[in-house]
Amino acid sequence: MAMSLPKRLKKEPLIDAIFEVRFSSNVPASMVIPGLLFKTLVGEKKLDSLPISQLPKQVRDADPNLKFAPVSRIDWEQFFVHVGDYSLSIACKHPYAGWSKFKPAIITVMEALPPDIVGAVDRCSMKYVDMIQAANNQQKVSMINLKVDIAGHELKKEPYQLRIEIPRDGYTHAVQIVSEAKAILHTGKELEGLIVDIDSILPQDGIPLGSLLEGFSEKLDKLHASNKAMFFDCITPDTLELLEPVYE
């Protein structure tokens, strides 16, 4: 792991930042929580139902791909708050506002959740998605700390997509690398480049919401720091220099 991590990058590659919590609930959380949050959150906001809300809850519950999908969204200042039947996430809009603003937003939303609606918490996670633009004629393989040899063939310049779960610091880091990807931001802007997607997961084994919120600020800092370290361990020194790191 890197001894000294940059404070920021002049060429910020971040396109998505999401904190998520998954929980059990004996009531339709997606019908109750959005209204409560809408009344609590201060500032400009708008509440919208998402297309998946048209499906019956029984159908969503029966499909593993839909169970944790958001049913409604609150467009709140610099953030999006997504609420599902068994999940809640806070996403930072592009451009990234920075951890100093993202962290307080997460705490505000989490502390506003009703413990009688949010049952046992199964996991929380921090996900950052970065898109890196390659330098002229730079091979995408050389941008990542990666060596792949399959059937005697060493990956050198071919397009690739890789997903691996790496245990570290008590978290499970689900790392996805896509060498040639396209992304459309919420603003409608389209980008192309190499994707580094790191979802750092902290299992909670069904603890009460109140237990998760004990020392929550420190828990968030540790989760964020571990995710950040994993990103910088994934890229090569040349890629880091391409992003123009700032250490102070």
Bond before 95 cis per omega within 30 degrees: yes
Is the pLDDT confidence value at 186 over 90? no
CA distance 34 to 83: 7
Taking the CA atoms of residue 155, residue 156, residue 157 and residue 162 in that order, the dihedral angle to the nearest 10 degrees is 40
Q: Name the token pair of 178.
A: 């896509």
| pLDDT of 142 | 84
For 115-124, the pLDDT digits (tens) are 989 989 999 9
Is the pLDDT confidence value at 138 over 70? no
CA distance 86 to 119: 9
Residues 61-81, mean pLDDT to the nearest whole number:
95
Is the pLDDT confidence value at 158 over 90? no
Residues 37-57, mean pLDDT to the nearest whole number:
95
In 92-109, which positions are buried (b, 16+ CB within 10 angstroms) versus exposed (e)? bbbebeebeebbebbbbb
Nearest to 73 by CA among 55, 46, 95, 102: 46
Is the pLDDT confidence value at 137 over 60? no
* CB under 8 A, 24+ apart: contacts of 104-109: 105/77, 105/78, 105/79, 106/19, 106/220, 107/216, 107/217, 107/220, 108/41, 109/37, 109/41, 109/81
Residue type, 181: A
- Contact (CB, 8 A) for 70 and 50: yes
Q: Name the token pair of 172.
A: 């499970």
Is the pLDDT confidence value at 223 over 80? yes
CA distance 64 to 48: 23
| pLDDT of 205 | 85
Is the pLDDT confidence value at 139 over 80? no
Is the pLDDT confidence value at 5 over 60? yes
Contacts of 116 (CB under 8 A, 6+ apart): none
Is the pLDDT confidence value at 2 over 50? no
At residue 183, the 3 state secondary structure works out as strand
For 76-100, the pLDDT digits (tens) are 999 999 999 999 999 999 999 999 9
